[in-house]
Amino acid sequence: MLLVVHTGYDWTDGFVGLGILVVVVGGALGMGFFAPAGERLAESHRSGDRVDVRRYLTMVGVDSALVVLAIVAMVDRWQA
């Protein structure tokens, strides 16, 4: 936020909006997917059941890719 307030960048610059969007999506994934899925995986592991982590790892990959995309956008200052 300080970047927008104290520099010549604006809220409408692409990299600013993308960065904020990735933070919001990451928070939503954390609350809506990672927390419940982590609890289910932990419970399955504790009870000795077979643990299938493919879906969880896919979402970790998606979340990580979004973060990398936001970093690239900020470094390149997309639509600045």
Per-residue pLDDT, 79: 72
**Domain map of the chain by residue range?**
2-76
Alpha carbon distance 18, 79 (integer Å): 11
What is the percent of the chain where pLDDT is above 70? Answer: 90
In the chain, the largest separation of any two C-alpha atoms, in whole Å, equals 57
Comparing 17 with 31, the larger pLDDT belongs to 31
What is residue 34's DSSP assignment? I
